[in-house]
């Protein structure tokens, strides 16, 4: 007979609490302000994840656990939310994220040529980060600028009417 | 242009009257100099029930795609006497329908118009808290909306004691973290509660039990932007703006291989051909073959439909939907199979995974289309695709994502079947497309 392993919830709890990367002062204040908007602290989960990501570029396990503690949730619950949303990064990204719109209008107007040129230039596939840690290249669904297609976001800037040459130029400026 | 003509034009294009060609934002002072916030003042002088009736009688239909009467939607919220306590209104600014860029245009240029409209909606249903659920990536909108909310707050247009009855309103901007499904109103509510954005079972409808279990109304950005003008100018004025059965104006857009892609505010019911003409016609060397009338989840229409009026009833009668009113044009140099594969790839990726037909059906369709585009298809695949469109259709899924995804596919098989057959018979894409051309990697293998 297989032995039944009894886990003590309280002990497990104590374990994950040891791996917490504490929230810094800014994160703590910004998350507290968001919690204030809602009747339940859990409602601030997405904001909390975005606040941490803004500080360190991505959401590490340690910070995710700190958010869980602050919002009175289990780390798995927070992670189930974090992994649902494509703009929450659960692994490190480059200093600049290039999000190339791959939806229908941009596809008609030359997305594939842009993607080929960009991945070849930096020898990095979409979904990956360049070895020097400068750029992460991501495909992204419709950016809502279809009249200026093809478009991309370089960091938080929308760039439009791209050609392979203009996109590579913009990307190079970020990687140098 | 004389002053009279200017005024005339302004009244015919109420939503875009402040939009400037240089892309700059309308300040509170500019907005207020031209009856800005007077629609809200008028609403606040009426009873909430009168405002609901006013908008119901104006027959303002939801501009997010479904076309449901906004006033009727509000009227399902139980009266405060029967159900006291917290209630919410939410602006659905999660614009992410492929080919759609109208709400961005409204929010970036004239954020106060949305704020005033949302405040009117909040008053009508007696909500003291309003959220703007803004999609991720709309960074400029976020900056300008937050600034405008702060301006309105400082000017006493939002906040405590807005009328003699003591109506108060807090307005909050929530920026999302991605995912198309957040545009579905119950998924949006889950997302605002900090959860995964799965749709909820209806009933109960959000008007009875929505955000945090409280009565909640969710309206699209463009819908809300109509409210200040309907309150200020009146119902007859609004009814006279439309050309056919529907009232008001519509922000129409055109993208694809045209000379002058963009969006324009026109009388609702403007002819398809007239809208495409505003886009400057097709680029040199390409011919129009068809169009998606209102975003990626609407059925293709073709040449025979160019003279139709772009309104809810006419486009529906033709077998499609007006949807968001922003058209994507298909030209003769673009591969139909590739375009439909691109759309299905979007919907398969954006499925929230909650129900089986959508979660499993869309990747299955994507695989068949990938094979067809690569020249590996067979004739029986086409019947199989139609059968799958039925399996993921209305009634079989939790929300409208998968039925919407089926629309461009089923209509492409109806109008452009010869293109699918050519792929099978030639054993390759006649346009020379490769479904994996973007990364050199097979998407299916990556997922």
Q: What is the pLDDT of residues B242-285, one digit of tens each?
A: 998 999 999 999 999 999 999 999 999 999 999 999 999 999 99
**How many Cα atoms occupy the beta-carbon half-sphere of A61 within 13 Å?**
5
Residues in CB range of B47: below 8 A, 6 or more apart? none
Secondary structure element (H or E) that encloses residue B98, with its range: none
**Mean pLDDT calculated for residue range A94-120:** 97
| Residue B210 and residue B257 in one domain | no
User: B265 pairs with which residues across the strands?
Assistant: B251
Q: Domain containing B423 — which CATH number?
A: 1.20.1440.230
Domain coverage including residue B192: 3-241
Question: How large is the average pLDDT for residues B422-435?
Answer: 91
Q: In this structure, are B10 and B47 located in the same domain? A: yes
Q: Are B69 and B57 in contact (CB under 8 A)?
A: no
- Of the listed ranges A82-96, B4-18, B39-53, the one predicted with least confidence: B4-18
Stretch A99-104: mean pLDDT:
97
- pLDDT band for position A166 (cuts 50, 70, 90): very high
Instruction: Give the pLDDT of residue B443.
Output: 43
Q: Touching check for A105 and chain B: CB below 8 Å?
A: yes
Q: Are residues B176 and B45 in the same domain?
A: yes
Q: Which of B186, B219, B241 lies at the terminal end of a domain, its last residue? A: B241
pLDDT at B439 over 90: no
User: Which pLDDT score is estimated for A7?
Assistant: 46
Question: For chain B, what is the domain count?
Answer: 3
Domain boundary among the residues B215, B241, B267 is at: B241
Local confidence band at B434 (pLDDT 50, 70, 90 cut-offs): confident
Q: Count residue pairs from A and B with Cβ separation < 8 A.
A: 160
For the complex shown, is ipTM > 0.90? yes
CATH number of the structural domain spanning residue B222 = 3.40.50.11540
Do the chains contact at A103 and B98, CB–CB below 8 Å? yes
CA distances from A25 to A22, A49, A70, B96, B300 (A): 9, 15, 13, 35, 53
| pLDDT (0 to 100) of residue A8 | 45
* Alpha carbon distances (Å) from A89 to A134, B1, B225, B424: 16, 53, 34, 40
* Same domain assignment for residues B206 and B316: no
**Residue B322's CATH number:** 3.10.20.600
The verdict on B411 and B300 lying in the same domain is no
Q: Does B64 touch chain A (CB under 8 A)?
A: no
Residue B327 shares a structural domain with residue B345: no
Report the pLDDT value the prediction gives residue B210, as an integer from 0 to 100: 98
Q: Which of B241, B257, B282 is the last residue of a domain?
A: B241
B158 with B83, same domain: the answer is yes
Q: Are residues B411 and B378 in the same domain?
A: yes
pLDDT tens digits for range B328-351:
999 999 999 999 999 999 999 999
Hey, what domains does chain A have and what are their CATH numbers? 9-82 (1.10.10), 96-175 (3.40.30.10)
pLDDT of residue A24: 97
Residues B48 and B82 placed together within one structural domain of the fold = yes
Q: Are residues B18 and B115 in the same domain?
A: yes
Whether the per-residue pLDDT at B302 is higher than 60: the answer is: yes
Phi (first) and psi of residue B253, to 5 degrees: -135, 160
**pLDDT band (50, 70, 90) for residue B437:** low
**A contacts of B251 (beta carbons < 8 Å):** none
pLDDT band at A17 (very low <50, low <70, confident <90, very high): confident
Instruction: Mark whether B318 and B442 lie in a shared domain.
Output: no
At residue A157, the 3 state secondary structure works out as strand
* CA separation for the pair B217, B64 (Å, rounded): 14
Contacts B438 to A, Cβ<8 Å: 102, 111-112, 115-116, 119, 126, 139
How far apart are alpha carbons B378 and A44 in whole angstroms?
50
For residue A51, CA distances in Å to A18, A24, A58, A136, B193 come to: 22, 11, 10, 20, 17
- CA distance to partner chain B, nearest, from residue A126 (Å): 7
Is the N-terminal amide bond of B204 cis, ω within 30° of 0?
yes
Instruction: Please name the helix (run of DSSP H) or strand (run of DSSP E) that holds residue B327, with its range, or none.
Output: strand B326-331
Taking CB atoms and an 8 Å cutoff, what residues of chain B touch A153?
A: 137
- Say how far apart CA B138 and CA B143 lie, in whole Å: 9
Computed over every residue of chain B, the mean pLDDT equals 94
Q: Which of A72, A71, A34 is nearest to A54 (CA)?
A: A34
Does one domain contain both B265 and B346? no
Q: How far apart are CA B64 and CA B297, in angstroms?
A: 12
Residue written as token pair 């490769």? B434
Smallest CA–CA distance, residue A99 to chain B, in Å, is: 10
């Amino acid at each position: 007979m297989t032995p039944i392993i009894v886990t003590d919830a309280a002990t497990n709890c104590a374990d994950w609490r040891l791996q917490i990367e504490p929230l810094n002062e800014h994160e703590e204040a910004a998350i507290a302000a968001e919690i204030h908007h809602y009747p339940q602290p859990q409602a601030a989960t997405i904001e909390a994840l975005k606040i941490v990501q803004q500080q360190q570029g991505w959401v590490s396990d340690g910070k995710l656990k700190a958010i869980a503690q602050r919002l009175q949730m289990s780390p798995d619950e927070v992670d189930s939310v974090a992994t649902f949303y494509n703009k929450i990064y659960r692994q490190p990204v480059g200093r600049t994220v290039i999000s190339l719109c791959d939806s229908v209008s941009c596809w008609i107007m030359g997305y594939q040529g842009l993607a080929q040129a960009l991945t070849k230039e930096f020898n990095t596939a979409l979904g990956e980060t360049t070895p020097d840690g400068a750029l992460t290249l991501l495909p992204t669904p419709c950016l809502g600028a279809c009249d200026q297609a093809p478009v991309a976001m370089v960091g938080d800037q929308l760039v439009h009417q791209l050609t392979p040459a203009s996109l590579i130029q913009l990307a190079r400026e970020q990687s140098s | 242009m004389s002053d009279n003509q200017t005024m005339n034009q302004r009244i015919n294009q109420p939503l875009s009257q402040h939009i400037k060609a240089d892309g700059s934002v309308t300040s509170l002072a500019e907005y207020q100099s031209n009856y800005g916030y007077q629609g809200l003042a008028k609403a606040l002088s009426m009873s909430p029930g009168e405002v609901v009736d006013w908008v119901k009688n104006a027959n303002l239909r939801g501009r997010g795609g479904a076309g449901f009467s906004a006033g009727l939607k509000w009227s399902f919220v139980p009266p405060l006497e029967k159900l006291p306590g917290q209630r919410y209104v939410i602006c659905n600014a999660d614009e992410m329908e492929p080919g759609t860029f109208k709400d961005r245009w409204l929010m970036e240029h004239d954020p106060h118009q949305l704020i005033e409209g949302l405040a009117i909606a909040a008053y009508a249903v007696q909500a003291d808290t309003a959220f703007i659920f803004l999609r991720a990536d709309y960074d400029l909108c976020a900056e300008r909306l937050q600034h405008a909310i702060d301006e309105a707050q400082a000017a006493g247009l939002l906040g405590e004691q807005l009328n003699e009855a003591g109506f108060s309103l807090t307005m909050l901007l929530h920026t999302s973290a991605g995912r198309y499904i957040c545009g579905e109103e119950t998924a949006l509510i889950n997302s605002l509660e900090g959860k995964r954005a799965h749709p909820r079972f209806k009933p109960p409808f959000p008007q009875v039990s929505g955000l945090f279990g409280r009565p909640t109304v969710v309206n699209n950005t463009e819908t809300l932007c109509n409210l200040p003008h309907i309150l200020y100018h009146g119902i007859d004025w609004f009814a006279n703006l439309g050309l056919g059965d529907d009232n008001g104006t519509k922000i129409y857009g055109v993208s694809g291989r045209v000379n002058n892609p963009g969006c324009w505010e026109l009388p609702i019911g403007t002819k398809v051909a007239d809208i495409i003409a505003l886009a400057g016609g097709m680029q040199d060397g390409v011919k129009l073959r068809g169009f998606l009338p209102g975003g990626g989840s609407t059925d293709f229409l073709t040449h025979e439909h160019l003279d139709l009026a772009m309104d809810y009833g006419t486009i529906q009668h033709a077998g499609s939907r007006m949807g968001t009113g922003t058209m994507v044009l298909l030209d003769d140099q673009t591969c139909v199979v590739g375009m439909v594969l691109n759309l299905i790839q979007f919907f398969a990726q954006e499925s929230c995974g909650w129900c089986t037909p959508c979660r499993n059906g869309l990747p299955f369709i994507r695989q068949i289309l990938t094979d067809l585009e690569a020249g590996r298809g067979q004739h029986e695949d086409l019947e199989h695709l139609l059968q799958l469109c039925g399996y993921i259709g209305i009634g079989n899924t939790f929300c409208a994502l998968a039925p919407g995804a089926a629309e461009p596919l089923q209509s492409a098989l109806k109008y452009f079947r010869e293109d699918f057959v050519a792929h099978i018979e030639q054993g390759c894409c006649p346009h020379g497309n490769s479904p994996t051309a973007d990364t050199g990697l097979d998407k299916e293998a990556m997922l």
